[in-house]
Chain A
Amino acid sequence: MSAAVAFDAAAPLARSLFAVPGMRCAACIAKLENGLAANPGIALARVNFTARQLTLDHVAELQLPELQAAIAAVGFEAQPIRAAGVTADRAESRGLLKATAVAGFASMNVMLLSVAVWSGAAGATRDLFHALSALIAIPTVAYSGRPFFRSAWAALRSGRTNMDVPISIGVLLVTALSLFETLTSGPHAYFDGAVMLLFFLLVGRVLDSVMRDRARDGVTALLKQTASGAMVAREDGSSEWVAAEALAPGMTMLVAAGERLAADGIVIAGASSLDRSLISGESSPIRAGEGDQVLAGTLNLDAPLTVRVTAAGADTAIVDMARLMEQAAQPRSLYVRIADRAARLYAPAVHTLAAASFVGWMLAGAGWHEALLIAAAVLIITCPCALGLAVPAAQIVAAGALMRAGVLVKDGSALERLAEADRVLFDKTGTLTLGRPELDSLAPLSPEHRPIALGLARASRHPLSQALRKALEAEGVAPADVTDVVEEPGFGMRGLWNGAPVLLCRATGVAGEALAVAFVFAGAAPVVLRFRDSMRPDAAMTVAEMERLGLPASIVSGDRAEAVAPVARALHLTAQTAMTPQDKLDAIERLGRAGHKVLMVGDGLNDGPALAAGHVSLAPASASDVGQNAADAVFLGDSLAPVAAAIRAARRTMAIVRQNFAIAILYNTAAVPLALAGLVTPLVAALAMSGSSVIVVANALRLRSAAR
């Protein structure tokens, strides 16, 4: 940490945004804000707890690794995020919220005036109240109606129709007619109906958008962006942090142990093991030495490497994957959401009905004014107010319940598709298994040596040391006071315990040495501790439950057959092994052609195209950024159980949505004859509309416990 950088009020400040998933309480906020503000280079630290984000205003000299070190010094792990995308996403929700506030204000005040008219105001008073209502309602329709008008216009221009078309026509027609009534001192003005309709529908839109924002915040906080840059060695011997976008072929990266590579390259100095599990799904690390090709996104495990960049940015192997994913995602963009499918049937029916009532009353000898008024009443009463709320209300309640259960669903359409899935494909490494080493057995290590091993292991960030530390701490072992601990890259940990040398090092010369360490006490024979990539808790139970839910499972893995076989046997699943990303994609397309709707569950970069191609997809929170971005939902924690919970909740949600549709249709069949008969006064319209909306929302609230 360069404490020498002094904060100068006149110097321009840079702003950096970090995701800090580890904050959980008020003390964390205080620790981050006060602790970082005490740093001389940082002018202001501000936490957004909802989004688990931290904004730092700091002097430009402080660079990313130093800022991360400062945050680590107060006890948190932080990952940088780009500021631009985050703010742009929020603009839509804000716009909708403002439109809703205006519509809410207008509907309250117009209703205030309308109640007076309904209770018998007549003559000049009624005309005054109607004129005042018009004054409030017309600007409101112009402002709050825009989201619907825009979407309806876009649909009409491309020759389609959606839910917003009948809404827009209804609102505009009713407003125009009411204005005419007002100007001609007529008895009925439907301004209250028009603004109330907008208000209820906007509430539905806000719910939908809040759901997307919340899930996106959750996913952003998880994104690791581990390859966001690298230390680059200059020719004069100095080194400098360069962001991933700015890396160019020919540069020399210094990759420390525990770092992820930011670009493809060739090793020019050093030798280390690399964890490629996020790239290829292989569970055991591979060795790389001088002259070996290494890929962006791999994790350097034991020793520092010097890598000459051969491809960076848009040319890395990762980006080829992105192209494959883009093609794979196309079928999914053709999915039509259930509300729009309903609208395809509903909109023409409503318009025919309104037109028929107009023609009918004209033929029956009514004046064009009366006939038009009745047609407008039909439109307003059939306007899919409850229908507009039916889907988003149910989906946001279900998404909230799932979020509490540890599943972040990215949008409503994901829930709909999740309910339809009838096959499931699992990746192995990192999905069915934890994708990180776990100690096989503590037995080889004698109880008196355990505290010493913990004392050594806790000083290292190597995955095997971390796994050993977790296993020992879970046994309640207290660390011994090991002194002079040094980490020798590529070898292991050295230390002194009561003057005796102790070692925790690579187990050379034993089978499966990539997943083993040796503990040596004062020159005695080494004790070999083995690790394995263990299965996620509840994996067997979840697979069995998926089968019961009608989703037969199988495994698609990029790993070798020997590594996949034990997992497949334990779960009684069939498996395809050594698959490339293209193979996985083909497997999904084959099932799709056979009429199956595939749920893909995967985590790695190699699963990206498959995740994008599946009818719906899930990724664990430990997944690669690519995996999390491609998946429709992300589940937190080690257990696989949320996968089955998500399916159950999605199906219950769709059941409630269908009930809501049934309620809306029932209400329409009761109210439409009244409207056709010309019996719907503004009072009846207002009661019917709010009544049906309340029923639909109340029904949706039953989903609060959907994820249990």
Chain B
Amino acid sequence: MTGLVLLIPIALFCGLVGLAAFFWSMKSGQYDDMDGAALRILIDDDAPAAVSKEPHA
């Protein structure tokens, strides 16, 4: 029983942290552009792609 007094609040707290994190990420717009986020990782910041001159297909 003493174990439960400790473990149940811990379990609930962990769940609440997850829920709060989800709410925060949604509010900060992380779900607004899912496809873009997947592509942005490919952008090389050192050499801006804007320099390239080839015509856009």
Contacts and interface: CB of A to CB of B under 8 A. Distances in A.
A25 B54 CA distance: 14
B23 A98 contact: yes
Contact of B19 (A26, A48, A101): A101
Given A125-B1, A132-B8, A29 B43 contact: yes
Contact of A101 (B4, B22, B42, B43): B22
Interface in B19-48: 19, 22-23, 26, 31-36, 39-44, 48
Interface residues of A, number: 34
Contacts of B40: 26, 29
Interface string A58-89: 00000000000000001110000000000000
A46 to B, nearest CB: 9
Contact of B35 (A30, A50, A74): A50
A105 B19 CA distance: 7
Interface stretch (A31-39, A289-297, A497-505, A612-620): A31-39
Q: Pick the most buried of A30, A47, A105, A112: most chain B CB atoms within 10 A of its CB.
A: A30
A97 interface: yes
A12 to B, nearest CB: 23
B6 to A, nearest CB: 14
Contact of A34 (B1, B34, B39, B50): B50
A49 B35 contact: yes
A25 B23 CA distance: 29
A249 interface: no
B33 to A, nearest CB: 5
A19 to B, nearest CB: 14
A70 B49 CA distance: 17
A133 to B, nearest CB: 11
A109 B11 CA distance: 8
A31 B50 contact: yes
A108 interface: yes
B31 to A, nearest CB: 8
Of the listed residues A24, A94, A105, A113, the one surrounded by the most CB atoms of chain B closer than 10 A to its CB is A105
Contacts of A132: 8
A50 B56 contact: no
A50 B22 CA distance: 20
Contact of B15 (A28, A29, A105): A105
B43 A75 contact: no
Contacts of A51: 33
B26 A94 contact: yes
A246 interface: no
Contacts of B1: 125
Contact of B56 (A22, A47, A97, A125): A22
Nearest to B8: A132
A105 B18 contact: yes
A555 interface: no
Contacts of A26: 39-43, 49
B11 A98 contact: no
B49 to A, nearest CB: 4
Contact of A76 (B35, B39, B44, B56): B56
Contacts of A27: 43, 49, 52
A433 B25 CA distance: 47
Contact of B33 (A30, A49, A97): A49
A1 B44 CA distance: 28
Interface string B1-18: 100100010011001101
Contacts of B32: 48, 50
A109 B36 contact: no
A356 B22 CA distance: 44
A74 B57 CA distance: 13
B55 to A, nearest CB: 7
Nearest to A128: B4
A76 B55 CA distance: 10
A22 B55 CA distance: 12
Given A29-B40, A34-B48, A34-B49, A98 B56 contact: no
Contacts of B11: 109, 112
A122 to B, nearest CB: 13
Nearest to A49: B36
A28 B56 contact: yes
Given A48-B36, A109-B15, A125-B1, A75 B23 contact: no
A38 B33 contact: no
Contacts of B43: 26-27, 29-30
A102 interface: yes
Contact of B39 (A49, A101, A113, A125): A49
B7 to A, nearest CB: 10
B9 to A, nearest CB: 10
A75 B15 contact: no
Interface in A85-137: 94, 97-98, 101-102, 105, 108-109, 112-113, 125, 128, 132, 136
B24 to A, nearest CB: 11
A422 to B, nearest CB: 38
Given A28-B56, A30-B50, A98-B23, A48 B4 contact: no
Contacts of A50: 32-36
B54 to A, nearest CB: 9
18 contacts: A26-B41, A26-B49, A27-B43, A29-B40, A30-B43, A30-B44, A30-B50, A31-B49, A31-B56, A38-B50, A47-B33, A50-B36, A51-B33, A75-B56, A98-B26, A105-B19, A109-B12, A125-B1
